[in-house]
A and B are shown apart, each in its own frame.
Chain A
Amino acid sequence: MPRRTAFHARTSDRCQSQSWQEWSGYLSANSYELEHVHEYHAARTASAVFDVSPLYKYHVHGRGAARLLDRVLTRDASKLGVGQVAYTTWCDDEGKIVDDGTVTRLGPERFRLTAAIPTLDWLEDNDLGIGAAIEDVSEALAALSVQGPTSRALLQGICDAELSRLRYFRQLETKLGGVPVSISRGGYTGDLGFEIFCDPAHAERLWDAIAEAGRPFNLRPAGNLAQDMLRVEAGLLLIDVDFVSSARTLFEVQKSTPFELGLGWTVALDKDVFVGRDALRAEQARGPRSRTVGLVLDVVALEAVYAGYGMPLHLPDRSWNDAVPLYADVERRDHAGRATSGTWSPLLKQYVAIGRVRPELGEPGQRVWIEETVEGRRHAVPARVAPLPFYDPPQKRS
């Protein structure tokens, strides 16, 4: 039986759909209402709150803290100022991605790392000869993510600090509704948003304060179904979907590098030695085997496919996460890569997907064909390569 997060009494009370899934050993709501699409719209038009407690969280502190993180992560942790947050990947010796997450410098010698998979062992192994203190705080920190264009206004109402001064990818310690929290700008929707960490003992108080403050702002709790549509629009990758952790597969073919995933910008090749550096340097010189791109499906062509069956266009009402073949030709002979997740974007009115293609097919505007199964038959539907993210509103950084 999966465990319950510190917010479970509140989330389960709101969860009309009774639809849950397991996330890192915890119960996590797929949607709160029967129709997740309203949760999606709340996040895009107003604000939504997600229980993200199941994230793995680690505190790294002491004199070698920055050195340890620099050895493990591809980002340059020593360059982070106090209160700064960075998105990062980490790799194995072959430069294959193990996981991604955020690293926050909480103090001169104190960091917090979030991860999608258990990482304590990986950190401890690499601590050899450094001696930083590593603490698994996954259970000691409950976490909420409040996302959407009105998220700042609603949190400001109960926050001791001036949130307009909290810049994108920065964190500060303050109180929300009287509860001591660590709050950072960012999130997994590509919009204005905040991630909030607190002591599980105060979790329900925090939830109640945010729910109350959120009432005039149409704050809704939102689950995984809405979350996944949002993150695809934001061009944010999901582990086990858009890539496989090299720690979780034995097969070379399933592994990928940050460069292949469009995350080359997180790799500080010029910094001191770190895990996977040599392999990544070699790859940078060589060029990646594939490129991760956005894809916009040609809905008119898809509609024509449906018309062939005497049917109106059908668009998916939720995101999909199964790899789908991409082709360089309409006959589906020349395999171009794969689309790994996709969604109809109700906001952008586009059918978008994230995929990986051969490098020469990765330029925006390039036409490829995606396999669409309609009534049990396979069809090739044209799609256009587009830059990621699909959705990047000004308030995300402002």
Chain B
Amino acid sequence: MAKRYDAIIVGGGHNGLTCAAYLARAGRRVLVLERRHVLGGAAVTEEIFPGFKFTVCSYVVSLLRPEVIRELELAKHGLHITPLDSAFAPMENGDYLATYSDPASTREEIRRHSPRDAEMAPKFSQMLYEMAFAVKPILGVVPPDPSRPGLRGLRTLRELGRHLQGLGRRSFHDLTKLMTMSASDLLDEWYETDVLKALSALNGIIGTMLGPKSPGTAYVLLHHYMGELDGAFTAWGCQKGGTGGVSEAIASAARSHGAEIRTEAPVAKVIVKRGRATGVALESGEEIEASTVVSGADPRVTFRKLVDAGDLPEDLVAAIDRFKFRGSSGKVNLALDALPIFPAMKDPALLRGSIEISPSMDYLERAYDDANHGGFSRRPYMDIVIPSTVDPTMAPPGKHVMSIFVQYAGYDMPEYGTPAQQREAFGDAVLSTLCEFAPNLKDVILHKQVLTPWDLEQTIGLSEGNIFHGELTLDQLFCFRPAAGWADYRTPIRGYWQCGSGTHPGGGITAGPGRLAALEILRAGN
């Protein structure tokens, strides 16, 4: 057998790479094994059409933990994020709502719709800002098991308790509401303008098979507000050259510390001997030894594919089988010959921000209803960015790439036939809906890539196509992520660890799970 490693990371997604970088930085001999030819998992850039760089899946960055950027010196390794200017939501009556990065312009724009809401908007933002500040310490700790916390867990809980107590009464109430309410109910308490509610509710449903009226969506909304670009919460941006650049930067940091990274090296099984992981077996038959094996894959792959159920306690197997994936979103990526024209858009500079097809709360709820009864939304919600408007190197001069995140689309849509037929029908629904708001779009498409949740599972390996490695609902967060008792990155198999988005603090390009897992592995003396 060849070289022996201290740690093997299964999966070269951004969390696997982060974990590898931290372990290598601590002097461990680390090997990352990625199934695909390209690193990044769902944070990947691919030139699907010649000359056009597609951010195939994940398309905006905000939640990347500042400590990871700092500790791995990611800017030195190529991290280069340009913030989005604005958000633009065309309405069905031909009007629109926009928000800008400067509060004054946003206030004036909202005033056009409702002077009362213009006054409430900064207060709402401030409340979310306070809440993001309130939960921030939670993002940086290993979740203790409340039923048997141990000394360290007790200390963590005490510190979090103190922090929460220090917030004051109102904040505590707000936090409780956010943790339990629906996005719709929460927004009703703040706003009267429907399109403003619809625009604000979006972050509550992304990646979740829940409608804006479903309880728990207020937390998902907060989750998307916890990003800190430049010390300012809530700022979203695009990585230069596409989201894959974030993964490449982390990979470069990992390599600089001596980590080895192999692509096109799919892992078939984690080798377990007498309850202890001793290495991995590749699909090619090759076996590689390591004293520690870390899975960056989602909980279903980690516990149900890479190892045998016989090596795990029954209650954990049952918990993982119940863990909700329920992919709810797809992706359409377009190569464009020219910019789309939205008749509702008075200032074309708004194309440099996000474009939200979310004209009303009713629209969102209907989109959910469609998918809830199987299939996809006939008129889906879309979160669109045209990264080439801020980073011209994404496409040839004057040409553009358009990234369309689409919700809802189910994992299982048998009424539309084969997966290829489902993809076709889904893509058609997306483009016909979008053309209602930007009629010229159909004439400028040079190439289109359509990904359903099924496609996301097949190509990226996301179970049921869930972009967060499992829904971000309260019952699947913190000490329940991915299962009670196993939220501290360990598994029942000694030497086998988890570091994917299916662990705390969850999905999105946070690199939080990868970092916390690595620190925990090192603390355990591996």
Contacts of B104 in A (CB 8 A): 34
Within residues 307 to 356 of chain A, which ones have a CB less than 8 A from any CB in chain B? 310, 312-315, 317, 344, 346-350
User: By the criterion CB–CB under 8 Å, are B101 and A313 in contact?
Assistant: no
B133 at the interface (CB under 8 A from A): yes
User: By the criterion CB–CB under 8 Å, are A150 and B393 in contact?
Assistant: yes
Min CB distance A283 to B, Å, is: 35
Contacts of A34 in B (CB 8 A): 100, 102, 104-105
B414 at the interface (CB under 8 A from A): no
Inter-chain CA distance A244–B393, complex, in Å, is 40
User: By the criterion CB–CB under 8 Å, are A347 and B83 in contact?
Assistant: no
A138 at the interface (CB under 8 A from B): no
Inter-chain CA distance A349–B70, complex, in Å, is 7
Q: If the complex has contacts A299-B70, A314-B231, A350-B75, are A216 and B398 also in contact, measured as CB distance less than 8 A?
A: yes
**Stretch of A39-47, A61-69, A252-260 on the interface side:** A39-47
1/0 contact trace for A20-50 toward B, CB 8 Å?
A: 0000000000000111011001101110000
Inter-chain CA distance A315–B104, complex, in Å, is 20
Inter-chain CA distance A315–B240, complex, in Å, is 23
User: By the criterion CB–CB under 8 Å, are B392 and A37 in contact?
Assistant: no
User: By the criterion CB–CB under 8 Å, are A218 and B75 in contact?
Assistant: no
B397 at the interface (CB under 8 A from A): yes
User: By the criterion CB–CB under 8 Å, are A315 and B230 in contact?
Assistant: yes
Residue of A nearest to B166 (CB): A310
User: By the criterion CB–CB under 8 Å, are B240 and A37 in contact?
Assistant: no
A169 at the interface (CB under 8 A from B): no
A187 at the interface (CB under 8 A from B): no
Q: If the complex has contacts A347-B75, A349-B74, are A37 and B101 also in contact, measured as CB distance less than 8 A?
A: yes
A168 at the interface (CB under 8 A from B): no
**Interface of A, helix, strand, loop or mixed by DSSP:** loop
User: By the criterion CB–CB under 8 Å, are B85 and A46 in contact?
Assistant: no
Within residues 158 to 216 of chain A, which ones have a CB less than 8 A from any CB in chain B? 215-216
Inter-chain CA distance A314–B233, complex, in Å, is 11
Inter-chain CA distance A385–B475, complex, in Å, is 47
Inter-chain CA distance A42–B85, complex, in Å, is 11
Inter-chain CA distance A44–B80, complex, in Å, is 9
Inter-chain CA distance A312–B131, complex, in Å, is 12
Residue of A nearest to B398 (CB): A216
Inter-chain CA distance A37–B229, complex, in Å, is 12
Residue of A nearest to B396 (CB): A216
User: By the criterion CB–CB under 8 Å, are B166 and A46 in contact?
Assistant: no
A149 at the interface (CB under 8 A from B): yes
A153 at the interface (CB under 8 A from B): yes
User: By the criterion CB–CB under 8 Å, are A218 and B393 in contact?
Assistant: no
Contacts of B105 in A (CB 8 A): 34
A217 at the interface (CB under 8 A from B): yes
User: By the criterion CB–CB under 8 Å, are A45 and B390 in contact?
Assistant: yes
1/0 contact trace for A93-106 toward B, CB 8 Å?
A: 00000000000000
Min CB distance B216 to A, Å, is: 26
Q: If the complex has contacts A34-B102, A349-B75, are A46 and B66 also in contact, measured as CB distance less than 8 A?
A: no
User: By the criterion CB–CB under 8 Å, are A218 and B66 in contact?
Assistant: no
User: By the criterion CB–CB under 8 Å, are B102 and A45 in contact?
Assistant: no
Min CB distance A287 to B, Å, is: 32
Cβ-defined partner of B230 (8 Å) among A42, A45, A153, A344: A344
User: By the criterion CB–CB under 8 Å, are A344 and B83 in contact?
Assistant: no
Q: If the complex has contacts A312-B133, A313-B231, A346-B230, are A46 and B83 also in contact, measured as CB distance less than 8 A?
A: no
Cβ-defined partner of A216 (8 Å) among B69, B233, B397: B397
Residue of A nearest to B352 (CB): A218
Inter-chain CA distance A348–B79, complex, in Å, is 8
User: By the criterion CB–CB under 8 Å, are B398 and A344 in contact?
Assistant: no
1/0 contact trace for A204-245 toward B, CB 8 Å?
A: 000000000001111000000000000000000000000000
User: By the criterion CB–CB under 8 Å, are A35 and B389 in contact?
Assistant: no
User: By the criterion CB–CB under 8 Å, are B66 and A349 in contact?
Assistant: yes
Residue of A nearest to B79 (CB): A349
Inter-chain CA distance A150–B391, complex, in Å, is 9
Q: If the complex has contacts A150-B392, A350-B75, are A38 and B133 also in contact, measured as CB distance less than 8 A?
A: no
Min CB distance B230 to A, Å, is: 5
Inter-chain CA distance A317–B75, complex, in Å, is 18
B291 at the interface (CB under 8 A from A): no
Q: If the complex has contacts A46-B390, A217-B392, A349-B69, are A35 and B75 also in contact, measured as CB distance less than 8 A?
A: no
User: By the criterion CB–CB under 8 Å, are B80 and A38 in contact?
Assistant: no
User: By the criterion CB–CB under 8 Å, are A38 and B83 in contact?
Assistant: yes
Residue of B nearest to A306 (CB): B231
Inter-chain CA distance A310–B240, complex, in Å, is 35
B82 at the interface (CB under 8 A from A): yes
Min CB distance A242 to B, Å, is: 23
Min CB distance B231 to A, Å, is: 4
User: By the criterion CB–CB under 8 Å, are B397 and A217 in contact?
Assistant: yes
User: By the criterion CB–CB under 8 Å, are B231 and A41 in contact?
Assistant: no
Min CB distance B132 to A, Å, is: 9
Cβ-defined partner of A346 (8 Å) among B100, B229, B389: B229
Inter-chain CA distance A300–B140, complex, in Å, is 14
User: By the criterion CB–CB under 8 Å, are A216 and B392 in contact?
Assistant: yes
Min CB distance A40 to B, Å, is: 10
Cβ-defined partner of A347 (8 Å) among B80, B85, B101, B231: B80
Residue of B nearest to A345 (CB): B75
Contacts of A312 in B (CB 8 A): 133, 136, 231, 233
| B74, B79, B105, B231: most-surrounded residue (chain A CB, <10 A) | B231
The 3 closest A-B pairs by CB, nearest first: A315-B231, A216-B398, A34-B102
Give the A-binding residues of B (Cβ under 8 A). 66, 69-70, 74-76, 79-83, 85, 100-102, 104-105, 133, 136, 166, 229-233, 240, 352, 389-393, 397-398
Q: Could you list 15 A-B pairs, sorted by A, with CB under 8 Å?
A: A34-B102, A41-B82, A42-B390, A44-B82, A216-B397, A217-B392, A217-B397, A218-B391, A312-B231, A312-B233, A313-B231, A315-B232, A346-B229, A346-B230, A348-B75
Known contacts A34-B100, A150-B392, then 14 further A-B pairs from the complex at CB < 8 Å, ordered by chain A residue: A34-B105, A37-B83, A38-B83, A41-B390, A44-B82, A45-B390, A216-B398, A218-B390, A300-B70, A310-B166, A312-B133, A314-B231, A315-B232, A346-B229
